[in-house]
Amino acid sequence: MGRIFEVRKATMFARWDRMAKQFTRIGKEIAIAVKQGGPDPDNNPALRRCMANAKGVNMPKDRVEAAIKRAMGKDKTDYEEVVYEGYAPHGVAVMVETATDNPTRTVANVRMHFNKEGGSLGTSGSVGFMFNRMGVFKIKNEGQDLEELELELIDAGLEEIGEDSEGNIIIRTPFTEFGNMAKALEEKGISTISAELQRIPTTTVELNDEQAKEVLQLVDRLEQDEDVQQVFHNLK
């Protein structure tokens, strides 16, 4: 029983850590959205998107409201969005999106993470050309006809539509069409589980299990950094 409890406890703490990281990430996104477009979600599409994403990860409503209030307060933290590029072991390209109030600290930490796991931090543009920045929307599959939905959304910039491993519907648009798609889904009354800008690799690198493990150790280390928002790579 003791061993089972330890395993269960470790799993539970890992889940709490992931939730805390998600809440922190969305809290920063809310701060940036409020700074750019104000605290009223009715007039701020970016803030509406953040609030929908918060709901998607079960972030409590009072925490969302507190994040909005902090973003309006005198002691608010001004976050700067900075993207870093580099290589993981075995030539895997990595892009790291951060939101930081201290870029000097952040770049030092990101460089350390790359170095500790056998990778190398590159310069701006060193791997960015290997990724397409796209809008990615996740909606609940409620038996919609995908072909019909595709026809309805194609004028809003739809590029790809399909299902993920959990059966949710995934919609991808070019970066430039992100706002149009968000507006189209709202107008059609389609709620999103999440709506994010992601960097999708144009080509991928296939490695054996041991090599892939080395790459994912770097990704995991980066994702645990408090300044890191998202990490993208082209490992297959």
- The tally of CA atoms less than 13 A away on the side-chain side of residue 136 is 13
Tokens for 199?
């960097």
For residues 28 and 95, state if they share a domain: no
For residues 58 and 117, state if they share a domain: no
CA distance from start to end of the chain: 38
**Which pLDDT value is given to residue 20?**
84
Are 214 and 88 within 8 A, CB to CB? yes
For residues 142 and 214, state if they share a domain: yes
For residues 120 and 173, state if they share a domain: yes
For residues 162 and 136, state if they share a domain: yes
**Count of structural domains within the chain:** 2
Which of 20, 53, 72 marks a domain boundary?
A: 72
For residues 67 and 85, state if they share a domain: no
* CA distance to 98, 100, 147, per residue, from 143 (Å): 37, 41, 12
For residues 217 and 164, state if they share a domain: yes
**Which pLDDT value is given to residue 76?**
87
**Which pLDDT value is given to residue 74?**
85
For residues 85 and 68, state if they share a domain: no
For residues 93 and 32, state if they share a domain: no
For residues 136 and 232, state if they share a domain: yes
Measured distance CA(19)–CA(179) in Å, rounded:
27
pLDDT in tens, 166-194: 999 999 999 999 999 999 999 999 999 99
Which of 31, 56, 72 marks a domain boundary?
A: 72
Are 222 and 110 within 8 A, CB to CB? yes
Q: pTM of this prediction?
A: 0.88
Strand 228-233 with 93-100, pairing: antiparallel
Are 96 and 222 within 8 A, CB to CB? yes
| pLDDT band, very low/low/confident/very high, at 19 (cuts 50, 70, 90) | confident
| Helix ranges (DSSP H) in the chain | 2-37, 45-56, 61-72, 103-116, 146-153, 178-187, 209-223
pLDDT in tens, 77-128: 999 999 999 999 999 999 999 999 999 999 999 999 999 999 999 999 999 9
pLDDT in tens, 141-172: 999 999 999 999 999 999 999 999 999 999 99
Q: Is the pLDDT of residue 232 over 60?
A: yes
Give residues with Cβ within 8 angstroms of 138, minimum separation 6: 56, 164, 168, 169, 170, 171, 192, 193, 194, 195
For residues 44 and 92, state if they share a domain: no
Residue 134 structural domain: 80-236
High-pLDDT (> 90) share of the chain, %: 89
For residues 23 and 131, state if they share a domain: no
Measured distance CA(170)–CA(109) in Å, rounded:
33
Give the CATH number, domain containing residue 9: 1.10.10.200
**Which pLDDT value is given to residue 17?**
60
Q: Is the pLDDT of residue 8 over 90?
A: no
Max mean pLDDT range (3-7, 17-21, 48-52):
48-52
Mean of pLDDT over the chain: 91
